């Protein structure tokens, strides 16, 4: 009968590793360009730009590189750049939209304390950056 408590305790760390760390909150993007708020949207998590901190020189902060011409004049502030994020092992997987290139990539998010590790991939090629938790 004493074996059950040991088995239960042994299973707890494995279960804890399966769930990714929470990523909700406000994050300052790489190079401090924008503030992104990550929050639930339906059954997934999404992130939208709540404030542009370093606009592109020479013009207003609009989604000028969007492949959909009808969206190229919309302001960057308020657009959703992280979408459909769901837990996948120790990370969150979804899609990320890059307004600078106008492309959408497969993406992974991993929270590590006050850092959010953001990876975007197109085919076999990936690029990573770290975002800082906003205060």
Instruction: Give the pLDDT mean for 12-40.
Output: 84
pLDDT, tens only, 41-100: 999 999 999 999 988 787 778 999 999 999 999 999 999 999 999 999 999 999 999 999
Residue 21 — very low, low, confident or very high, per pLDDT cuts 50/70/90? Answer: very high
In order of 47, 49, 54, 114, the CA distances from 26 in angstroms are: 9, 10, 17, 10
Asked whether the predicted pLDDT for residue 3 surpasses 60, the reply is no
Q: What is the pLDDT of residue 28?
A: 97
pLDDT at 60: 73
The per-residue pLDDT for range 98-126, each reduced to its tens digit, is 999 999 999 999 999 999 999 999 999 99
Highest CATH level, class, for 23-133: mainly beta
pLDDT of residue 2: 55
Q: CA–CA separation, 76 vs 48, rounded Å? A: 9
Distances (CA, A) of 99 to 37, 67, 96, 105, 126: 16, 10, 10, 11, 17
Q: Cβ-count burial of 73 within 10 angstroms (0-12 exposed, 13-18 middle, 19+ buried)?
A: exposed
- Taking alpha carbons only, the member of 101, 95, 104, 118 closest to residue 44 is 95
Q: What is the pTM of this model?
A: 0.83
**13-33 average pLDDT score:** 82
Q: Rounded distance, CA 42 to CA 130, Å?
A: 26
- The pLDDT value recorded for residue 127 is 96
pLDDT confidence of residue 10: 46
List the chain domain ranges: 23-133
Contact of 85 with 110, CB cutoff 8 Å:
no
């Amino acid at each position: 009968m004493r074996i059950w408590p040991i088995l239960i305790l042994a299973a707890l760390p494995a279960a804890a590793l399966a769930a990714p760390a929470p990523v909700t909150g406000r994050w300052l993007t790489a190079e401090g360009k924008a503030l992104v708020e990550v929050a639930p949207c339906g059954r997934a998590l999404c992130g939208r730009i709540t404030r542009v901190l370093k606009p592109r020189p020479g013009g207003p902060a609009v989604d000028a590189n969007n492949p959909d011409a009808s969206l190229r004049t919309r302001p960057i502030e308020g657009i959703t750049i992280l979408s459909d994020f769901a837990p996948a092992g120790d990370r969150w997987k979804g899609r990320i939209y890059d307004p600078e290139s106008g492309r959408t990539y497969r993406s992974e998010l991993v929270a590590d304390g006050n850092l959010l590790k953001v990876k975007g991939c197109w085919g076999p090629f990936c690029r990573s950056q770290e975002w800082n938790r906003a205060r």
